[in-house]
Structure 1
Amino acid sequence: MKAPAIAPCLGVKDTGASVGFYEKLGFTAQPAGDDPNDDIRLLLFGGEFALMVYRDAHLRDWLPVLKDSAPGAFGMFYLAVDDFDAYVAKIRPLVNAVKESDHDGRRLFYFTDPDGYIIGVVQKQEW
């Protein structure tokens, strides 16, 4: 698997709960390293790297500059899917939808994860 140019690593309250949430949405999880005491997980979507999740306490220990940061983010992440309609229909009952929109001819579906991160679903496209 090729690593992306930028790899998001989200601080989460409970790594197991976050992994469980994302697995319900079609992601797969795997350990990010060999240390059994480290709970960082890689999340794949469609077999490709999507993001990492890491317990907030461990992330604060790793980067003390984050010690006062709350989980969640000001901003959003986008998830590009092969079939927008089918994927949104599948996850709609599993998520807290916060907005649906059409913008520049593209349909968008936004939801929050258990830690307040906003994910926007979009149809996969070439740039």
Structure 2
Amino acid sequence: MKPPAIAPCLGVTDTQATVDFYEKLGFTALPAGNDPDDDLRILLFGGEFALMVYRDAHLRDWLPVLKDTPVGAFGMFYLAVDDFDAYVERIRPLVTVTKEVEHHGDRIFYFTDLDGYVIGVNQKRTR
């Protein structure tokens, strides 16, 4: 697996619940290391790195500068999929839909995860 240039690591309230949520959406979760007490997980989508999730308390211990930062984010993440229509149809009953829009000819399906992170699904581009 080729590591990305930037790897998001999201603080979450319950790592296992977040992993379960994303697995229902077609992601695969891997442990990030060999420490059984460390709940950092790597999430893959289509066999490629997508993001990491880490319990908020552990993330705050790891980086004390985040100690007062709430879970969730101001902003959004995008997930490019091979078949937009099929993927959105499959996940729609599993998520809280935030917005559906067509912008410059591209359709985007926004939903929130368990901790309020916003994910925008769009068709993967070939160029």
Alignment TM class, shorter chain as reference: over 0.9
Q: Does the residue aligned with 2:22 lie in a helix, a strand or coil?
A: helix
User: 1:34, CA displacement in angstroms?
Assistant: 1.0
2:91 aligns to what?
91
Asked if residue 113 in structure 1 is aligned to residue 113 in structure 2, the reply is yes
Asked if residue 39 in structure 1 is aligned to residue 39 in structure 2, the reply is yes
1:60 aligns to what?
60
CA displacement 1:8-34 (0-9 Å, x = unmatched): 000000000000000000000010011
Cα distance in 2, alignment partners of residues 126 and 25 from structure 1: 22
1:126 aligns to what?
126
Q: Write out the 4+ residue segments of structure 1 that deviate beyond 6 Å after TM superposition.
A: none
Cα distance in 2, alignment partners of residues 73 and 99 from structure 1: 17
Which runs of no fewer than 5 residues in structure 1 stay unpaired?
none
Cα distance in 2, alignment partners of residues 120 and 59 from structure 1: 24
User: 1:3, CA displacement in angstroms?
Assistant: 0.2
2:29 aligns to what?
29
Normalising by the residue count of structure 2, what TM-score does the alignment of the two structures yield? 0.99
Q: Does the residue aligned with 2:57 lie in a helix, a strand or coil?
A: helix
Cα distance in 1, alignment partners of residues 103 and 36 from structure 2: 44
User: 1:126, CA displacement in angstroms?
Assistant: 3.1
2:17 aligns to what?
17
Which runs of no fewer than 5 residues in structure 2 stay unpaired?
none
Aligned length: 127
Q: Does the residue aligned with 2:4 lie in a helix, a strand or coil?
A: coil
Normalising by the residue count of structure 1, what TM-score does the alignment of the two structures yield? 0.99
Q: Does the residue aligned with 2:58 lie in a helix, a strand or coil?
A: helix
Cα distance in 1, alignment partners of residues 106 and 31 from structure 2: 34
Task: Determine what percentage of the aligned residue pairs are the same residue.
Answer: 77
Q: Does the residue aligned with 2:30 lie in a helix, a strand or coil?
A: strand
Structure 2 letter corresponding to 1:17: A
User: 1:53, CA displacement in angstroms?
Assistant: 0.2
Cα distance in 1, alignment partners of residues 114 and 70 from structure 2: 13
